[in-house]
Amino acid sequence: MSLISWNVRGLGNPRAFDKLRMLIRDTSPSLAFLMETRLRSKAAESVKRRCGFHGGFYVDCSGRSGGLMLMWKEEVEVHIQSYSQSHIDCHVRFPHGVWWRFTGFYGNPSRSDRHHSWTLLLRLKSLSNLPWVVAGDFNEILFLSKKEGGNNRYYPSMNQFRDTVESCDLVDLGFVGPKFTWDNGQEGGAHIRERLDRALGCDEWINLFPYYGVRNMDFYDSDHRALWLELVRDRNRAGRGPKKRKWFRFEPFWMTDEDFKDTLRTSWGTTGSVGDCDGFGRKLQSCGRDLSGWSRVKFGRITRRVRNLHEEIERIRNASALGYNRRRLWEW
């Protein structure tokens, strides 16, 4: 089982929605918390349904900013406890498991108002004794080493965040992957990167999922990396990631190739008659296998090519020659 947390920076266009589905395909989460959706409940419900989730809870955006979403799979029990423009707090239980607590958290973007976020976190601490994990974009760093470029962070806000985490009996759950989760997209001396997105857990939660893992994922076109938290109780499953079944996926770009129609026609015509529903299903499965095989020969392994491009993008982001390389990244 796993969950994701991501500041999507808007889901109102098809490209952003496609990136969300890509993230879900990469991580197979049972629970998904999204910030800055910039959607109202009706549109958020449509996103939930199209992403294949069973349950959902939404906090509407305010004007053209904000908006939170929590989505979960059918096998997960979720009881919403409280919510605001900055959080969704719930009790969660996986199949055959015990209840624990998840809070999706979004720190106030305004530095002058950020103390309200820490007051909220302290208040949430007092509301339940269940094993607790908090994940999200806190809009603040814990230490100066979690920032690169630009002026130093405002010390009082950073210190207050650190004091709040300690008062809530939470610890940073760490991560694997790139160090910084937010990138301002600028060049040269104006380039700033920070670790604003993180997961925090209490000792009881860590004891419940002793082999958990936190991974900083790709940006998926946002300025924030997605956070993937794998919830593992069995040591033998640690680090393996979710089990994935390989599904047939029809790719629309296939239709632009001149050989596509002939391949489809040949496959459909040589796999027996339809007859009944079972026969029709067998024809679809056989046709899917033939098209997948044709695609691998014609275009190569698309997933591997996409992964290689993501790795190249990471190398460009972290390269020292920022001016040249970042221009190359934007050209992509």
Q: Are 4 and 23 in contact (CB under 8 A)?
A: yes
Instruction: Check residue 278 and give its pLDDT.
Output: 65
Q: CA of 38: how far to CAs of 8, 49, 82, 270, 275, in Å?
A: 9, 17, 20, 49, 49
| Range 2-237 classified under CATH 2.40.70.10 | no
Query: Which ranges of 182-321 would DSSP assign to H, the alpha helix?
Result: 203-208, 260-269, 277-299, 302-318
Q: How far apart are CA 219 and CA 75, in angstroms?
A: 28
Q: Where are the domains of the chain?
A: 2-237, 252-299, 302-331
Closest CA to 69 of 36, 117, 28, 26: 36
Q: What angle do CA 143, 118, 110 make, to 5 degrees?
A: 80
In the chain, count H helices and then E strands: 9, 15
Which segments of the chain have a pLDDT < 50? 240-245, 320-322, 324, 330
Both structure tokens of 156? 């009082």
DSSP symbols for 257-277: STTHHHHHHHHHHTS----SH
Q: How far apart are CA 89 and CA 189, in angstroms?
A: 39
pTM above 0.85, yes or no: no
The maximal CA–CA distance of the chain, rounded, in angstroms, is: 73
Local structure of residue 247 (DSSP, 8 states):
P
Q: How far apart are CA 171 and CA 92, in angstroms?
A: 20
Would the CA dihedral through 231, 77, 171, 226 be positive or negative? Answer: positive
Instruction: Check residue 6 and give its pLDDT.
Output: 97
Q: How many CA atoms lie within 13 A of 67 on its CB side?
A: 22
Across the beta sheet with 182-183, the strand order is 147-148, 193-194, 182-183
- Per-residue pLDDT tens for 41-51? 999 999 999 99
Both structure tokens of 212? 């958990």
